[in-house]
Chains A and B, each alone.
Chain A
Amino acid sequence: MKPLLSVNNLSVAYAGGRIKEALKNASFKLYKGEILGIVGESGSGKTTLASSILNILPSGTKKEGEVIFEGRNILKMNDKELRNIRGNRISIVFQEPAASFNPVLTVGYHFLEFMGKNSAMNKRENKGRIIEDLLRKSGIYDTKRVLKSYPHELSGGQLQRAMIALAISSNPDILIADEPTSSLDVTVESQIVNLLLELRKELGFTILFITHNLGLVKVLCNRVVFLYRGEVKEITDTKSLFLRPKHESTKVFINDYLRLVS
């Protein structure tokens, strides 16, 4: 089967800073329809990986290797080509919903601006209805109020739902979820996770799920890429990750987790 996205020998080094190499020679493939977990401790390079897939790393960052999407290397694309990919074919939901919205703009403005950037959607009429539908799909029912609200007026759960609505508005092929629930409450977390699953069923996008929470991996992911200090240590299906972790660092990680929950 042909992969939807393949990351080949990707190395990323930030300019300055203490950690020089955030990713070393990472390779993996993402297939259509699956939920692939990117798992590792903080500082293992998970978010760097997500950022390089969208090519949103800060300027001055050294990048080697390639991220191939539909036969072309995202790392080599120009701004115009990237606009076609970012938030369009590949969307992302970040960890901190409050930090992903512009605090001085209403939630509704974000939707309009985003749709304005997307020519196909900009042409469509009755945008208002489309936006409200999206929000309802994402579990927000008082749409009018939410669209008029500023980010600080909404709860973390509502903002994350709005963020998901924004991310799926372009009907993306890939949704990158970068620890989308780690700043949320347990009850909200459970809802957001189930929302993602439902939306995936309905819209058929592929999920790249970044997390350090193995409990979530267990219920959500088909396959797992385990990162340790910037290196891919193990790529396996979820079941074998828990039953037969191969690499030493994976074993430690799994054991720590099991000790906390059992």
Chain B
Amino acid sequence: MNIVETKGLKKYFKRKKQLIKAVDGVDIFIKKKQVTALVGESGCGKTTLAKTLLGFYNADGGRIILEDKDITRIRENYSFVRERIQIVFQNPSLSIDPRYTVFRTLLETLRVFKKVSIEMAKGTIIDFLNKAGLDETCLYLYPHQLSGGQAQRVSIARALINNPRVVILDEPTSNLDVSTTVKIIDLLAELKDKESLSYFFISHNLKLIAKVADYIFVMYYGKIVECGPKDILYRNPLHPYTKLLIEASEYKLKSAYIQGKSKEGCVFRGRCAIEKPHCEVEPEAKEVEPGHFVFCHYI
């Protein structure tokens, strides 16, 4: 069951008269009660995709479907979307208002959807802080008084406080220590079962993805190049880019490649070892195994 689906989703930016196709015809889905992951290098459009799902940007094409409802025109469906999709950002100290106490941050979020008195809200807030592994001593602290891990827990509490169905995790641990990362990952796993959440986990850390994800999308310059269930994808990576990423995560990648995308045809052309004439045509999805899709002519 897919809770969120996109069909040919597009988001373009204009910079200096140049059209940047940050998200260019992406079909993804987020499965119910599972962890769907999105992997790719910085600049490949991961965060843009997440922000488009949340309505921070208007899509330039394609459709977004949430619980069988078309929400592409998100501005008309704001509360429907925000009640169901929430996000935890990469850098907690930048995503929490530095002038607000933890209590006020959470209170404001809570009051977006529910009219509650401060006393009633306090109970809920403490409840969610506890769920995120914090206690009430944090209530009146400001973000700068929190450690990175604590701040990320506040972000998690904020994302969960309105009982969403889907949580987008945009590199939630890449600013954190190993030991803090472990704790946050454990917490997220626990909350997922308890609150029956679906996660959309964005990361460039393949080792972490291997640990947490059920289904993986690999993205390169605005396009999905390969996707599949975790076990299959790691056992049998087929797209040259996926192979390159896995090689890099084991520190075996040496060559200095030319970073960039080709104008036409396969996005990975300029960087690909097996470039052949067919690559001038954009590849279509091939299902090589059940659920395992590759966008490459030579697989």
Interface of A is mostly: helix
Check A261–B211 contact: CB distance below 8 A.
yes
* Minimum distance in angstroms from B104 CB to a CB of chain A: 24
Find residues 221-267 in chain B having any chain A CB closer than 8 Å to their own CB: 244-245, 247-257, 259
- Name the one of B185, B204, B211, B257 contacting A186, with C-beta atoms under 8 angstroms: B204
Chain B CB within 8 A of A120 CB: no
Chain B CB within 8 A of A257 CB: yes
Chain B CB within 8 A of A84 CB: no
Q: How many residues of B contact A (CB 8 A)?
A: 30
Q: Which residues of A contact B256 (CB under 8 A)?
A: 139, 141, 191
Check B185–A260 contact: CB distance below 8 A.
yes
* Minimum distance in angstroms from A190 CB to a CB of chain B: 4
Chain A CB within 8 A of B179 CB: yes
Check B179–A186 contact: CB distance below 8 A.
no
Among the 9-residue stretches A1-9, A52-60, A126-134, A211-219, the one with 4 or more Cβ atoms under 8 Å from chain B is: A211-219
* Given A215-B207, A260-B211: A187 touches B182 (CB 8 Å cut-off): no
* Given A260-B208, A261-B211: A216 touches B182 (CB 8 Å cut-off): no
Chain B CB within 8 A of A102 CB: no
- Interface residues as binary, B23-41 with A (CB distance below 8 Å gives 1, 0 otherwise): 0000000000000000001
* Minimum distance in angstroms from A118 CB to a CB of chain B: 27
Chain A CB within 8 A of B136 CB: no
- Interface residues as binary, A226-262 with B (CB distance below 8 Å gives 1, 0 otherwise): 0000000000000000000000000011001101111
> In the complex, A141→B177 CA distance in Å?
35
Check B244–A193 contact: CB distance below 8 A.
no
Q: Which residues of B contact A252 (CB under 8 A)?
A: 179
Chain A CB within 8 A of B181 CB: yes
Chain B CB within 8 A of A185 CB: yes
Chain B CB within 8 A of A64 CB: no
Chain A CB within 8 A of B206 CB: yes
Chain B CB within 8 A of A25 CB: no
* Given A256-B179, A260-B208, A261-B211: A186 touches B41 (CB 8 Å cut-off): yes
Q: Which residues of B contact A257 (CB under 8 A)?
A: 178
Check A215–B177 contact: CB distance below 8 A.
no
Chain A CB within 8 A of B42 CB: yes
Check A190–B247 contact: CB distance below 8 A.
yes
Chain A CB within 8 A of B91 CB: no
Chain A CB within 8 A of B163 CB: no
Chain A CB within 8 A of B205 CB: yes
* Given A42-B177, A139-B256: A219 touches B248 (CB 8 Å cut-off): no
- Name the one of A187, A193, A215, A261 contacting B41, with C-beta atoms under 8 angstroms: A187
* Minimum distance in angstroms from B39 CB to a CB of chain A: 9
Q: Which residues of A contact B259 (CB under 8 A)?
A: 155, 157
- Interface residues as binary, A196-232 with B (CB distance below 8 Å gives 1, 0 otherwise): 0000000000000000111110011000000000000
Q: Which residues of A contact B179 (CB under 8 A)?
A: 41, 252-253, 256
> In the complex, A190→B182 CA distance in Å?
23
Q: Which residues of B contact A42 (CB under 8 A)?
A: 148, 177
- Name the one of A141, A157, A191 contacting B253, with C-beta atoms under 8 angstroms: A191
- Interface residues as binary, B185-219 with A (CB distance below 8 Å gives 1, 0 otherwise): 10000000000000000001111101100000000
* Minimum distance in angstroms from A138 CB to a CB of chain B: 9
Chain B CB within 8 A of A96 CB: no
Residue of chain B at shortest CB distance from A187: B248
Q: Which residues of B contact A191 (CB under 8 A)?
A: 248, 253-256
Show 24 A/B contacts (Cβ-Cβ < 8 Å), sorted by A: A186-B41, A186-B205, A186-B206, A186-B245, A186-B248, A189-B248, A190-B247, A190-B248, A190-B253, A193-B251, A194-B253, A212-B178, A213-B178, A214-B178, A219-B250, A220-B251, A252-B179, A253-B178, A253-B179, A260-B181, A260-B207, A260-B208, A261-B207, A262-B211
- A residues at B contact (CB < 8 Å): 41-42, 139, 141, 155, 157, 185-187, 189-191, 193-194, 212-216, 219-220, 252-253, 256-257, 259-262
Q: Which 7 residue pairs spanning A and B have beta carbons closest together?
A: A190-B253, A190-B248, A194-B254, A256-B182, A139-B256, A187-B248, A41-B177
User: With A189-B251, A194-B253, A212-B178 given, can you name 8 additional A-B contacts, CB distance below 8 Å?
Assistant: A42-B177, A141-B256, A186-B245, A190-B249, A191-B255, A213-B178, A261-B207, A261-B210
